A and B are shown apart, each in its own frame.
Chain A
Amino acid sequence: MRAFSYTIRQAFAQIGRNKNMSTASVFAITAMMLILGLFFTLMVNVNLMAENAENQFETIQVYLEDEVSAEKALEMVDEIETMEYVADARYITKEEALAIMKTRWGENSYLLDGLVDNPFPATIEITSTDLQYEGEIVKAVEKMRGVEEVKFHQETIDKILTITRYIETGALVLIIILVIVSIIVVSNTIKLTVHAREKEIQIMKYVGATNWFVRGPFLVEGIIIGFIASIIAAAIVGFGYYQVVKLFAEKVLIIFSSGMVPFEFIIQNIVIIFVALGVCIGSLGSILSMRRFLRA
């Protein structure tokens, strides 16, 4: 306990003595975390979108030619329902298709009011028993008469997922580089305090201080720097995301028919990730900077 209070007192004194460099390293880590935060929020949102898209596009959309009558369409539905791997088939009239779009567009739906002709085709919506066999259903349905186009979104989903993976890998590489840079920045800052106290450290070692006792204040110094940086970064990312959600959540819902990840989820995770990362960067940086001094 006594050693602990000594360590904490020393750490704060050191930061005070070395204000400029400490501030600089706090900013460097904060900047790194802001980039990380940007990627993190982007990633969780893209993932959510991909997930929603998957649910949404589970169905196969069969657009019918305008000449196809309702009776004929219902016959087609019956025929499709007998096919293998088909769980359900549902007929949606042109009017229903328009109405669905109107609800989806919400308050922007007035844009649809000006339309002279209803541009949405009558549709048969097919739910498959297994996404894997959707290709076979599509092949069979495409041969039927009166079918204008079959929309089959598995490819789109795959594309989204591939892009997501690319972004993830890119972000990971960038973040690893940034973490390494941050550790170097912290270790240089602490090296300065170590140099300033070299004489004291030498005396401590002669008197028989353990390495951990010598290291303690520097370790705490690094952790404090990392911690402050993580709190600042979390606050900025949290505030920024809050504003983005407030401004764009509705529009995103309309355009991508998928909501944004809620603010609460983001802030909780950001705080945990940032603080853990900040503390790791700080302690690693200080341990690295002291290695040479503690060898003898």
Chain B
Amino acid sequence: MIEFQNVTKKYGNNVAIENLDLKIEKGEFVFLVGPSGAGKSTCIKLLLKEIEADEGIIFVGEREVTSLPARLVPAHRRNIGIVFQDFRLLPKKTVYENVAFAMEIIHASRKDIKRQVPQVLSLVGISSKAEQYPHQLSAGEQQRVAIARAIVNNPSVLIADEPTGNLDPDTAWEIMELIKTINEKGTTIVMVTHAKDIVDRMGKRVIAIEKGRVVRDAEGAYREDESI
């Protein structure tokens, strides 16, 4: 599903990632962990083709992202849903509109929007707040809306960049349950996080990156010495 082959990215003299090899299968749930500046964000930016790799090849699905022409980048991004730590909802749109917006952008018909948006809102458990604005919602609810927006176009990959970073532990766990549900429906999940307890509790594959290299790739826990 996702593959990095010997990928290197430098910012001037700063090496963000170096000769990175990585393979994630379809339907997997993967945590990307590591200290700040280890290269996790660079990986995500490369996946979305926000930045170009200096060396190496990246595949997402059938597509070779590294050689993708600019005109095909929008189509590529429609195949990837993304959720951020700070939600990034549009403050002047209601919950419903925020999600519908993602469908308007890809020219979905009004009929499809009317059918799909309530379904997704119900999946993330926020149907009752459809007509409210983001500032009227709690942080957890806002993240649910952001997730709804990320999956409304049925992407095959969902990237979550520290989705629980702004949430209290209980709410964070609810969000994790939701992401797990989405994964069970077949969506590949790549989640960047610092939340050790969540990673440990989920018991999924963990890829640890340090100084631009994969230092560990195993099932289970955040750190090697703690793995079961």
Task: Give the interface of A toward B (CB within 8 A).
Answer: 2-3, 6, 199-200, 202-211, 213, 296
Contact = CB atoms under 8 A, between A and B. Distances in A.
Contact of A207 (B71, B110, B149): B149
Contact of B77 (A2, A3, A6, A208): A208
Contacts of B77: 205-208
B90 A200 contact: yes
5 contacts: A206-B77, A207-B77, A208-B76, A208-B77, A209-B74
B228 interface: no
A199 B90 contact: yes
A16 to B, nearest CB: 13
A208 B82 contact: no
B50 interface: yes
B102 interface: yes
Nearest to A206: B82
Given A206-B82, A208-B153, 11 more contacts: A3-B107, A200-B90, A203-B101, A204-B105, A206-B77, A207-B105, A207-B106, A208-B78, A208-B106, A209-B74, A296-B51
Contacts of B107: 2-3
Contacts of B71: 210
Given A2-B107, A208-B105, A199 B149 contact: no
B104 interface: yes
Which interface residue of A3, A207, A210, A296 has the most chain B CB atoms within 10 A? A207
Nearest to B45: A296
B65 to A, nearest CB: 13
B88 A2 contact: no
Given A207-B78, A207-B149, A208-B78, A6 B104 contact: yes
Given A200-B90, A207-B102, A207-B153, A2 B74 contact: no
Given A2-B107, A213-B105, A199 B76 contact: no
A296 B153 contact: no
Contacts of B78: 207-208
Contacts of A3: 107
Interface in B55-98: 71, 74-79, 82, 88, 90
A199 B109 CA distance: 24
Contacts of B50: 296
Given A207-B78, A208-B77, A202 B105 contact: no
Contacts of A6: 104
Contacts of B104: 2, 6
B192 interface: no
Contacts of A203: 88, 90, 101
B48 A210 contact: no
A94 B169 CA distance: 113
Contact of A2 (B79, B82, B102, B109): B109
